[in-house]
Amino acid sequence: MPPADQPRNPPDAATIEAIARATIAGLPAEFRAHLGDVVLIVEDLADDETLDALGIAHPLDLTGLYHGRPVGEKSSMDSGGLPDRIHLYRRAILDEWIETGIDLNALVAHVTIHEIGHHFGLSDDDMHALEDSAGAA
């Protein structure tokens, strides 16, 4: 059950996306400058192909995923491929929100920043520092 001060109706994809975009807007400028071409996608659940590729048995176990090559691995020779994408999986996020009671904004920010961290090839410690700098922790 969500905490008393949070909405009772499950947030829709637009709400999750708005929280994620606000999180991105709060990042330091040097990070935002490299996110302009990254596509943000909010889906209910990861598809079976994605889950199988990651060895994940249950779709509620995956809250987000980065598809692409980290910034440091890109080359000027890269062309014609799909844009880098950050997928947020709404139902898995909501499941974690209900189970943990964590503030929804903080949870979506955490998942968003974690996936952004993969875009930059950051370590988990670096991702935590980025969360702190964005005021998401």
Q: What per-residue confidence (pLDDT) applies to 119?
A: 81
Number of H helices, E strands in the chain: 6, 3
Say yes or no to pLDDT of 1 above 60: no
Q: What does the alpha-carbon distance between residue 111 and residue 105 come to, in Å, rounded to a whole number?
A: 10
More confident residue, 126 or 18: 18
Average pLDDT over residues 108-137: 78
Specify the pLDDT at position 82.
74
Q: CA-to-CA distance for 28 and 75, rounded, in angstroms?
A: 24
pLDDT above 90 (res 111)? yes
